[in-house]
Every structure is written in structure tokens, then in C-alpha cells.
Amino acid sequence: MSQAELHTRSIKEQAAKLGFMSCGIAKAERLDDDAVRLEQWLNKGYNGKMEYMERNFDKRVDPRELVPGAKSVITLLFNYYPSEEQQPDAPKIAKYAWGKDYHYVIKDKLKALLQYINQEIGEVQGRGFVDSAPVLEKSWAVRSGLGWVGKNANLLTKNAGSFFFVATLICDLELIPSEPFSTDHCGTCTKCIDACPTDAIVSPTVVNGSKCISYFTIELKDALIPSEYHDKLNGWMFGCDICQDVCPWNRFSKPHNEPEFTPVHEVLNLGLQEWEQMTEDTFSKLFGKSALKRTKLQGVQRNISALKML
């Protein structure tokens, strides 16, 4: 067995020990096809007011711009599907935001994996990313053989659906690439497209981000959510899981076992009025390490106002 094969196997075994459900490898190279698709998506204005999507274009499509001399892109999946449920009268919050902010949790695990590589294999240059840098995670996941991009533009797997985070570790270590995933298992199913209240899924795998409920409730920083969308929010206060909840592949989702993702009690149980009357001090105390802090209390209460206007 070659050194590259030994290193690849060792990294995948360590990733599993750290709690990652899957680990795949791809050669670090420019994503030419994705560059074309991204440019077309941006030209159509599907990023809405998410101007950050227009920045660092070259870094998004070439990992060597992020890590000079990069040879491999390690892609990892981490389950966040909960065993609990929100109370029926609680405003809906996307499942990924029920526990501790995943950026903290996953980044710590990526640091631990990189530390392992440096200690057990040798010193390498590398950087870990999870949804906070110009990286096309889903494209790397497909290239790494981990799944396919569904019609709702989420990464899907046959054994676990889509309720997982996608992280990448770009490094200058030569590894053995995985076989790319080449099969689309969505078939003729259009449940996600049919279920989207705002018609944000404009064609298979293409989402108009500026019409997505997650965009309105998280990314949009305007003082008000456009009134024509109030009756389409379907009770969502932060994010949206509709296109995932209806996906048949998510019947295979299994509850995670990550203590850091244990739901905050208030996420599951507070009603609209309690959220509406919450103070800044209470919000900071309860959600200081939560993804909910991204909108701040002001954003949460703006979203509640839109829900109450129905």
C-alpha cells in the first residue's frame, strides 16, 4: 500500500472517530463547470442582497487560491437530525439551529483532524471550512463520492437524506481521490419543488435564493420582510426545512448523537408572544452560542411581526 493510500485510510478513520458520518477526497483543482454555473446564477440575481456571494469568485472555484499548493480537498458530512420536535404552537426554527452554533462545533473537529494529520502523518498546510468561506462544498462532496445534488439544491445521500453539515479541509497533502458520485437518485420526484411556498426552486438543482424563506428570515437585513411573502412564510421564524422535510430520502435520517447539538429548551417550547416580549439580555443569555444570533433579536422579532400580520 502506498503512502498516499495509507494516509487516506488513516484520515478517514480519524474523521469517523471525530463523529463525521462520511469522508471523501477530491483532487484540488479549479471547478470550471461550477464557475460557469455560479456566474450564471449571480447574473440572474438569485443571490438577492447577499453581496458576499459575488466576492472572491476565484477563491470559490479554485481551492488553490485558499491554500497555496493545495493538492487535496477532504469533504466531511456531520449529522444534525434531531430526535426531538418543536411544540405545535412554537414558531418554526430550522433544525440545524436548535443547538449550539455548528460553526463552533464543526470547526473544532476540523482543527482536531488537521492536528491529527500534522502529528501522525507530517506537517502540512491546510485550512478547514464550514459554510463561512468561499468554498463550493456541495460540488466537492459530489466529486468526493459522498452524494448528489437534489432538485432542492441540497446534497443528498441514499442512507441519510440531507440533514447534515458539509465541511471541507483543504490541504497540500497528496491523497487518493474517491470515485465521484455520478448518479441522480431523485428520478421524477418533484415533492420539494411542489412544496416550496415561494416557488424558490426555479428548476431542478437551481434555487432563486432571493425568494427562499431562509433568505427572508436570515439573510435579508431590511427592516421589513416584503408584505407579499407574509402569507407564504408558513410559520417559519428562522430558516426553513420544508424542501427537506418532504424529501423521501429523509425518511432514512437518523438522530445525531452530538451533545453540542442538544436543542435549547426555549427553541422547542417558546410561543410567539414569548419571543415577541423577549429582552436583549435574555436573548444574549440563551442564544449567545446559537446560530440564532445571526439575525439578532431585532431580526427574530421582525420575522415574528411578519408572521403575526397574516
Q: What is the pLDDT of residues 247-272, one digit of tens each?
A: 999 999 999 999 999 999 999 999 99
Q: What percent of the chain is modeled with pLDDT above 90?
A: 97
Alpha carbons 127 and 168: distance in angstroms, whole number: 8
pLDDT at 274: 96
For the stretch 113-116, contacts whose Cβ atoms lie closer than 8 Å and that sit 24 or more positions apart, written own/partner, are 113/11, 113/14, 113/15, 113/18, 113/74, 113/76, 113/169, 114/169, 114/171, 116/11, 116/14
Q: Are 201 and 247 in contact (CB under 8 A)?
A: no
Q: What is the mean pLDDT of the chain?
A: 97
pLDDT tens-digit map of 158-210 = 999 999 999 999 999 999 999 999 999 999 999 999 999 999 999 999 999 99
* Domain residue extents for the chain: 1-310
Catalytic: 131?
yes
pLDDT at 30: 97
- Whether 9 has a pLDDT exceeding 60, the answer reads yes
- Rounded to an integer, the average pLDDT of 140-150 is 98
pLDDT at 308: 84
Q: In Å, how far from its chain's centre is CA 62?
A: 20
What does the longest C-alpha to C-alpha distance in the chain come to?
A: 65
Alpha carbons 95 and 107: distance in angstroms, whole number: 19
Strand partners, 161: 157
pLDDT tens-digit map of 57-80 = 999 999 999 999 999 999 999 999
Residue 79: all three cell numbers together? 449529522
* Structural element, H or E, at residue 148: strand 148-149
Q: Are 93 and 168 in contact (CB under 8 A)?
A: no
pLDDT at 278: 97
pLDDT tens-digit map of 15-33 = 999 999 999 999 999 999 9
pLDDT at 284: 97
CB atoms within 10 A of CB 228: 8
Model confidence at 221, pLDDT cuts 50, 70, 90, reads very high
93 class by beta-carbon count within 10 Å (0-12 exposed, 13-18 middle, 19+ buried): buried
- Whether 132 has a pLDDT exceeding 90, the answer reads no
148 CB-side CA count, 13 A: 14
- Rounded to an integer, the average pLDDT of 153-158 is 98
Q: Are 141 and 77 in contact (CB under 8 A)?
A: yes
Q: Could you give the angle at the alpha carbon of 105 between the alpha carbons of 176 and 60, nearest 5°? A: 55
- Whether 112 has a pLDDT exceeding 90, the answer reads yes
- Rounded to an integer, the average pLDDT of 73-101 is 98
* Structural element, H or E, at residue 128: strand 126-129
Strand bridging mode 148-149 / 155-156: antiparallel
Q: Are 79 and 164 in contact (CB under 8 A)?
A: yes
pLDDT at 280: 97
Alpha carbons 17 and 35: distance in angstroms, whole number: 34
- Whether 310 has a pLDDT exceeding 60, the answer reads no
Q: Determine the straight-line distance between the first and last CA of the chain, rounded to whole angstroms.
A: 64
Residue from 131, 172, 231, 281 carrying the catalytic annotation: 131
3-state class of 163 per DSSP?
coil
Q: What percent of the chain is modeled with pLDDT above 70?
A: 100
- Whether 225 has a pLDDT exceeding 70, the answer reads yes
